[in-house]
Chain A
Amino acid sequence: MTETAQARFETALRRYSEENFFYIAHNYLGPVKSPFHKPQVIARLSLFFGQEQIQNRMVELLDSLDLEILSLLSLTGAIGAEEVIDLLSPRHDYATIFWRLSSLQTRLILLSEEGRLSFNPLIEGRLRERCSLSSLLGDLGGTPIEQPHLSVEFVRAYLSLVLDEQRFGFRESHLAIFPSFAQEQLRHLIPLIGDLVQRLGVFKATKPPRLVEERGEALLALGDEELFSVLLAATMSGPSIKAAVAFSREVVSLLRQAGSIAEEALVLLLRIISKRQGIACPPNFIHSMITLGLISDGPIHRVTTLESDAVSDELLVDSDFTINYLGRRRAHDILHRFATITTFDVQRQWRVSKESVVRAFDDGLSFPVIEAYLASHAHNGNGAALIKQMALLDERYGMLTIHDALTLVVDERVAHLVEHLPALAEHHVKKLSPTIFLMRRDSEKQWRKILTDAGQLVGSTHRQSVVVQKEEAINPYFFTYIDVVHEERTTPDLATLRPPAEPIIDESLRAAITTAKALSPVQREDLLSRFDQRLILSPSQIAGQVLDAVIEAGGFDYQGKLNLCRQAVGKKHITLQLRIDEEELFVWALEISNSSEGEALLKALVLDTKVERIIPIRKIFTVRMLRTQLF
């Protein structure tokens, strides 16, 4: 027990209302006589809960619902009781969670710190050890399966397809290129990837689309898990990139840990992570994960193995100019820039064609770079024939070049100036003759000024047509995604599987209560009731007192019902359980008023719906006052 933990424990107790505090004190310490000294009582409680055997008992008595809630909190961190109820509400009814949270607090498993539920710091470590994904999400532990999925190599193949086909969408021919993918998946996957790479600005929005190489490279340098995180984050619009990537990373990471997950549990997991990251999960997120191949479709989602393929350093260049390799290429590989995927399967097969090489040249990939790449990667130097073909193509490519530039015609004197003025150097595109230069169109203003400053009389440009330069707007935040995905992960460390919890009941303690002398029947009954509520941890608690007297009024006892309601008004530690016809409500009493006819009315907040209702007292069949340890 650290001092910090003890201090936190005592601070939390100190903040409890008198009713709650004394209930706890009486329960665990036995009757506390007045006058009392609260710090002393707190110290005694601290001492009581500091005992190892008491802590062991507390943990032994946890059941599966307790662990479900604790596992939830271990993921979300400290959150309010209402948030816990909200998260678990599809699975359990309001009252069940409400009372269980109350119980966990009465048992001092959970404490309330500034309105948020957190683990009792004295036993936090033991509690976390009992938490697990399976306690929270139900049946897990299905081993991840191998199924076709998004991967860095898939993206590499896709980029080459876009460059080859000059479009982003799905084509029937893709079915043959990606034979391991199911038809339906591929029909959705290709357009989704297309949409995402456009959103991320991996391609310039030109016709034909041009790859922004540094972005393509950054994407292909990711691991498969990071790639999933980035692309799933890119499907989300609204939240900050940081939150979206953090959200996606946690989802991917926890799913991989889970192995398999039921649909309902997956929805819960997404809601939990949304809560952690403070963002809303988009409605189509699960569909996107299925499409990308992270999880399988169906009521039980099986998670895909994302084992990294082995890095392949060698390319097998065959005589028909197909290029083969297994596994994945290293970061900064350039194959996709000058070759096109033909089969994406166990073995990746690519084809080098005249079109693919010209496209690479157009995109600024020079022949010497390709040559050096093939020379260093081709198995046993077997790319020689291909390199020769490319060299010839390069020669031909160089025979005709179209520059988008302005022609500067000068006399011999100015030519000397243009050629040798250092400031103009970066504006030259090409020198066509001793007195004719091609100058950059996009920096016309700058080099005009330089010439003017140099004392030249610079007239207007003789234009035959107006060239409108379109600004290319691409996503400026691409690298934020990449940076964030590389940040240190903050997902809590939570075990995957724990055996189902069965509380260990100490029957000797029950026997001790049953046989204890000097207990009135009511006191014995009260003690047994608290024993069943797992509030009795030690024989020292067996003392003659009544803490949980049932306070109830019903039937024709109109005044009794009215009095109980009046007593509960404004007290959040008291919940009223009302039975009205067939309806059972748990409410907080807000106010008692009278109608114009003089009828007493209870204004109450219904806890599960958070709706205020005005209920005539006469309509209430029974009213029961319940102590609520929600603080």
Chain B
Amino acid sequence: MKDTPLIVQSDRSLLLDVHHRDSEACRSDLIRFCELVKSPEHVHTYTITALSLYNASALGYSTSTIMEILDRWSRFPIADSVRFFVEDMASRWGKVLLIEHDDPSLYVLKIENERIRSEVVRRPAIAKLLRVLDEHRFVIEAYHRGEVKLQMIKAGWPVDDRIPLSRGEPIPMTLRHTTAGGAPFAVRPYQEAAASAFLGDLGPGTGYGVILMPCGSGKTVVGMRIMERLATRTLIVTTNVAAVRQWKGELLDKSNLKAEEIGEYSGDRKEVRPITICTYQVLTWRRDKEGPFLHLDLLTEGGWGLIIYDEVHMLPAPIFKVTAELQAIHRLGLTATLVREDGRENEVFSLVGPKRYDVPWSELEEQGYIATAYCHEIRIDLPQELEIPYAVATKREKYRIASENPRKAEVIKALLEHHPDDFILIIGQYLTQLKEISELVGAPIITGSTPNSRRDELYNAFREGSIRILVVSKVANFAIDLPDASVAIQVSGSFGSRSEEAQRLGRILRPKRRSSFFYSIVTRFSNEEEFAANRQKFLAEQGYSYEVEVWPN
């Protein structure tokens, strides 16, 4: 047994002992050809997938380099099955090429190998998209580029896409060294690394993909850095109007873009400018259930050189299809939590692009780029008068009764007293409950029905410090930047949503002088406990551990 930090399992999962002195060096080698699966406190799990090997091959990493890295870091001899997989998958790269055709509406799929060619033409899902050009080449329609690549990956033959992505109309943009607000500004090393991982050498096979970074670690800055390097017409799609305005504010604050160069395409305004920011909601809006998506053309007809999908895990199904057709454009997905309860994570990778950068939350916390957060789960009994209604309720009703446990109010009050100087978010799922809490603590409330102008007003007041406590519904789950918030009290949530829990924690992760506290109030001995346990899974895998406390009766 060698004194090295890595254990390579037969199922191609790699276990990294993060306390080993060489773990950081090992990690930086692994991320070239592995995907991070989870990063709890002690043992981080990476995995080698076909996709991660294809991407490594695309970036020029040979099988021998990969095996040399594994051999160097592995404590134990590596199973033959792992070697075989690496060699087999990596050898598949470059066998199928996608190259340009004289007619710009067409591309050429070149397959020299007879066996692969015959395998491909026997697959109806691919064959229907191909026209034979000659013995080794097929022609495909340009708009089938994404679909062909997707199907070829499913067939186990990744396409080496040699067609450069469209550069779009040039829009010069430079990031400032001092923000418009007068603060010093620089792209952090990991942000630069993420941007570089995405852009590579700007050649074929680069310029599309997903970047995973913890909430509060500055994904927007990564997006802006990529915009700066591509300097092209850009569409940014995000989750809500508040986030649209945050993006706009950040761009104006940290780049040399002028207000008139940045358009807002939302329910309120329909501005299409060199840099346009819109919401998923407006793109998928239609008059009725059967009607057409009236604004979806913005994606395809804006002449964009770059599309940024903020909080890409939220990508709605109608956009999946359109994204498949946008293969000629640089595509960047940003998220902290690529966990979808519908299990469509892989489709996001297929359509937007592979995971290009992922960093353990704990690492950024150690380096001080995100706040240290302490998570607490406070369990409180149901009042006796609700025990019988709870016992006879359906599962869904039980969850609601438990979530709206009126005794949670006493916990909230105590917590507010415990944090007299903190900026506090009280986050919940049920509006009635939130309104009651809002009245109880005398704090303003933001819900889905709060007009955007009112939301902006309240968020700004919170940022400026004139409001210390905000009660918010799930509208504030994502993409809302409230730098000074240091305490979040979660009174209820969407059943077992793992990403929601992480995103809510993310609201208080902006680095600040004080530590952050995340409280989740859960009704004891109810099914809310089970949902809470499920909600906590993602964060547990990121190394957060919940201190469980029982609230005295």
Contacts and interface: CB of A to CB of B under 8 A. Distances in A.
Contact of B7 (A318, A346, A354): A346
B520 to A, nearest CB: 14
B548 A388 contact: yes
The main secondary structure of chain A at its interface with chain B is mixed
Interface stretch (A321-329, A540-548, A558-566): A321-329
Nearest to B540: A320
Nearest to A318: B40
A253 to B, nearest CB: 26
B319 interface: no
Contacts of A354: 530, 533
A340 interface: no
B439 to A, nearest CB: 32
B103 interface: no
A343 B13 contact: yes
Interface string B1-34: 1000001111101010000000000000000000
Most chain A C-beta atoms within 10 Å of own C-beta, residue among B7, B11, B525: B11
A179 interface: yes
A396 interface: yes
B268 to A, nearest CB: 43
Nearest to B362: A319
A320 B9 contact: no
B379 interface: yes
Contacts of B1: 310
Interface in A350-403: 354, 379, 382, 385, 388-389, 392, 396
A346 B76 contact: yes
Nearest to A146: B77
A326 B1 CA distance: 11
Contacts of A318: 40-43
A608 interface: no
Interface in A164-199: 176, 179-180
B38 A320 contact: yes
Contacts of A321: 540
Given A316-B43, A320-B40, A382-B42, A392 B550 contact: yes
A379 B525 CA distance: 31
B537 interface: yes
Contact of B545 (A176, A180, A319): A319
A345 B42 contact: no
A36 to B, nearest CB: 72
A346 B13 CA distance: 11
Contacts of A396: 525
Interface residues of A, number: 25
A53 interface: no
Contacts of A179: 9-11, 81
Contacts of A310: 1
Nearest to A178: B10
Nearest to B533: A354
Contacts, number: 68
Interface in A291-321: 310, 316-321
A514 interface: no
B41 A319 contact: yes
Contact of B546 (A180, A324, A385): A385
Contacts of A176: 11
A223 B79 CA distance: 24
A346 B543 CA distance: 23
A96 interface: no
Nearest to B12: A179
Given A318-B43, A320-B537, A324-B43, A346 B9 contact: yes
B7 A347 contact: yes
Given A180-B79, A343-B13, A319 B7 contact: no
B544 interface: yes
Contact of B11 (A319, A322, A343, A385): A343
B32 to A, nearest CB: 22
Contacts of A347: 7, 9, 15, 43
A474 to B, nearest CB: 35
A322 B7 contact: no
B79 A382 contact: no
Contacts of B363: none
A320 B537 CA distance: 7
B42 A326 contact: no
A382 B525 contact: no
Nearest to A392: B548
B547 interface: yes
B185 to A, nearest CB: 34
A319 B40 contact: yes
A321 B9 CA distance: 19
B192 interface: no
Given A319-B543, A385-B545, A385-B547, A345 B10 contact: yes
A346 B42 contact: no
A402 to B, nearest CB: 17
Contacts of A324: 15, 42-43
A491 to B, nearest CB: 31
Contact of A346 (B10, B43, B379): B10
Given A180-B79, A392-B548, A392-B550, A320 B11 contact: no
Nearest to A176: B11
A346 B540 CA distance: 23
Contacts of B13: 343
Contacts of B544: 319
Contacts of B76: 346
Contacts of A392: 379, 548, 550
Nearest to A177: B11
A234 to B, nearest CB: 28
Nearest to A148: B10
A322 to B, nearest CB: 7
A321 B545 CA distance: 9
A484 B135 CA distance: 71
Interface in B433-463: none
B271 interface: no
Nearest to A310: B1
A385 B537 CA distance: 14
Given A345-B10, A346-B9, A392-B379, A320 B541 contact: yes
A318 B40 CA distance: 6
9 contacts: A179-B81, A180-B81, A318-B40, A318-B41, A319-B40, A324-B42, A385-B547, A392-B548, A392-B550
Interface of A: 176, 179-180, 310, 316-322, 324, 326, 343, 345-347, 354, 379, 382, 385, 388-389, 392, 396
Given A180-B81, A320-B540, A324-B15, 9 more contacts: A319-B541, A320-B38, A321-B540, A346-B10, A347-B7, A347-B15, A354-B533, A385-B547, A392-B548
Instruction: List 4 A-B pairs, minimum CB-CB distance, nearest first.
Output: A179-B11, A180-B10, A320-B540, A345-B9
